[in-house]
Amino acid sequence: MVTQSKPCRIGVMGGTFDPIHYGHLVTAEVVRGEFDIDLVLFVPSGVPPHKDPRQVSSKEHRYLMTVFATLTNPFFEVSRVDIDREGETYTIDTLRDLRKLYGDEAELFFITGADAIAEIMDWKNAAELVKLAEFVAATRPGYQFDRKLQEWFEQHGKKLHLLQVPAMAISSTDIRRRVQAQKSIRYFVPEAVEHYIRKNSLYLEHHTHSTADNNEISS
């Protein structure tokens, strides 16, 4: 249970979450246990710089699905830092904002997918970024990292933590395709998320969603 005092070890679960699924939730729970984390903050991206905005659902849809998915876990919370910041979402800004909120004594563990972390050398202010947190990459079993990536972390005095999570066989891309093809997504996402997707007619058409937040929301 999260106590009233400020959490010291904070997992920062960054992702587009379009939609959030059980692979993400299992990853966060496993990392929480492995790294003795007090609180996992799910941080849905506002405007991912590496994606075509027409192919991403509105940030409020993604935020609300994340809230519904995490509601029953007392160690999980959802942060709006990336959703509410103007402009494109860069992890350097996420970690700086969270550092301001939680103070210098907090230890941050940035958790995301291995395919995303594999590009970290090209992220904005990468050399500063790597010093602001520990980085945990969730991989599907059998995933092999480029040795260059580990070496890059070592050059900055850090280690990239790898965690194999079988549930990461579930993917947001596959879920969107399944909805479009009118296939079941039961047991891929929490029930509330499935209802939310159906009620708001998400993922029925290709490339029609937008981060512009002009979609009407039913919840």
CB of 161 to ligand NAP, least distance (A): 13
Q: How far is the CB of 200 from ligand NAP (least distance, A)?
A: 19
Query: What is the nearest approach in angstroms of ligand NAP to the Cβ of residue 111?
Result: 6
Binder of ligand NAP out of 124, 159, 183, 206 (CB under 6 A): 124
Quote the least distance from Cβ 103 to ligand NAP, whole Å: 21
Question: Tokens representing 144?
Answer: 């092999």
**Does residue 91 interact with ligand NAP by CB under 6 A?**
yes
Cα-trace Rg, the chain: 17
Kindly state whether residue 84 participates in binding ligand NAP, applying the rule CB under 6 A: no
* Position 177 contacts ligand NAP (CB under 6 A): no
User: Rounded to whole angstroms, how far apart are CA atoms 165 and 58?
Assistant: 28
Residue indicated by tokens 């996402």: 189
> Cα-Cα-Cα-Cα dihedral of 49, 151, 157, 25, to 10°?
50
Report the residue number, 127 or 218, with the smaller CB distance to ligand NAP.
127
Q: Among the residues of the chain, which ranges form H helices?
A: 22-34, 59-70, 81-84, 91-102, 114-117, 126-129, 147-155, 172-180, 191-199
CB of 210 to ligand NAP, least distance (A): 16
- Distance (Å, whole) CA 51 – CA 49: 6
13 binds ligand NAP, rule: CB under 6 A: yes
* Cβ distance to ligand NAP smaller for residue 105 or 179: 179
Binder of ligand NAP out of 45, 58, 79, 200 (CB under 6 A): 45
Query: Does an H or E element contain 76, and which?
Result: strand 76-78
DSSP letters along 5-44, please?
SPPSEEEEEEE--TT--HHHHHHHHHHHHHTT-SEEEEEE
Which CB sits closer to ligand NAP, 89 or 200? 89
* Contact between 126 and 120 (Cβ < 8 Å): yes
The region of 97-105, 143-151, 165-173, 193-201 touching ligand NAP under the rule CB under 6 A is 165-173
Instruction: Note whether 171 binds ligand NAP by CB under 6 A.
Output: yes
Name the minimum Å distance from CB 46 to ligand NAP.
8
**Alpha carbons 217 and 219: distance in angstroms, whole number:** 7
Binding site for ligand NAP (CB under 6 A): 13-16, 23-24, 27, 45, 48-50, 89-91, 111-113, 115-116, 123-124, 138, 171-173
